[in-house]
């Protein structure tokens, strides 16, 4: 790819030409950006040909757009290490009971919503009707309603979502019996 014909620049010059930071230039070099001279400490600067770098960037953009990017072995190792790390972290969260299966969460949400509906449509209305019948004072009305709503919320707070449902036990029996 090194055909030259561009301006010869150091790292700072390349960063200025492409409007990027020095760490971005360093990342490009690690990713295979062409250079004419490798920098070495304080005595020897990196030298880049801007035309070669432009062609390299254009080729990378095409590869990324078409999905033809060649993945190097180090990138694959990094991806594998990341996957292993995420898997280990997830296993730890499961052991600490900090995550739950989606089906369990769905059952719990359904249980909570059923309890809310039961309390709001049944218990709350039944209790409120007898207390509010004939009541005309707005403050008393509000006090009674808020008290009953607090009762509903307390019953929801006391709801045991860790207990297995009878339905779940029957499913387990059915699966084991076959």
Render pLDDT for 124-170 as a digit per residue (tens, 0 to 9): 888 888 888 888 899 998 998 898 888 888 888 888 877 665 554 44
d(CA 56, CA 7): 15
Nearest to 124 by CA among 151, 157, 143: 151
Give the angle 133-137-140 at the CA atoms, nearest 5°: 80
d(CA 171, CA 162): 17
d(CA 105, CA 93): 16
Residues 38 and 46: beta-carbon distance below 8 Å: yes
pTM over 0.75: no
What lies within 8 Å, CB to CB, of 113 at 6+ separation is none
Sign of CA dihedral 64, 66, 71, 76: positive
Residues of the chain with pLDDT under 70: 1-2, 68-72, 163-178
CA dihedral 23, 29, 32, 38 (to 10 degrees): 180
Residue 46 CA, chain-centre distance (Å), reads 39
Give φ, ψ of 98 to 5 degrees. -100, -5
Please classify residue 56 by burial: count the beta carbons closer than 10 Å to its beta carbon, then call 0-12 exposed, 13-18 middle and 19+ buried.
buried
d(CA 98, CA 131): 43
pLDDT score at 178? 43
């Amino acid at each position: 790819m090194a055909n030259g014909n561009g301006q010869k620049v150091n790292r700072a010059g390349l960063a200025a030409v492409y409007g990027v930071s020095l760490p971005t230039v360093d990342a490009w070099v690690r990713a295979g950006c062409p250079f004419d001279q490798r920098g070495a400490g304080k005595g020897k600067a990196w030298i880049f040909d801007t035309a070669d770098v432009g062609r390299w960037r254009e080729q990378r953009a095409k590869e990324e757009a078409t999905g033809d990017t060649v993945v190097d072995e180090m990138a694959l190792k990094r991806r594998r290490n990341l996957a292993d790390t995420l898997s280990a972290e997830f296993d730890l969260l499961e052991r600490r009971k900090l995550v739950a299966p989606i089906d369990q969460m769905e059952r719990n949400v359904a249980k909570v919503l059923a309890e809310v509906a039961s309390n709001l449509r049944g218990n709350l209305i039944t209790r409120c009707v007898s207390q509010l019948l004939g009541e005309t004072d707005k403050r008393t009305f509000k006090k009674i309603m808020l008290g009953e709503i607090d009762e509903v919320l307390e019953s929801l707070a006391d709801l045991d979502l860790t207990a297995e449902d009878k339905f779940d036990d029957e499913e387990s029996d059915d699966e084991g019996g076959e």
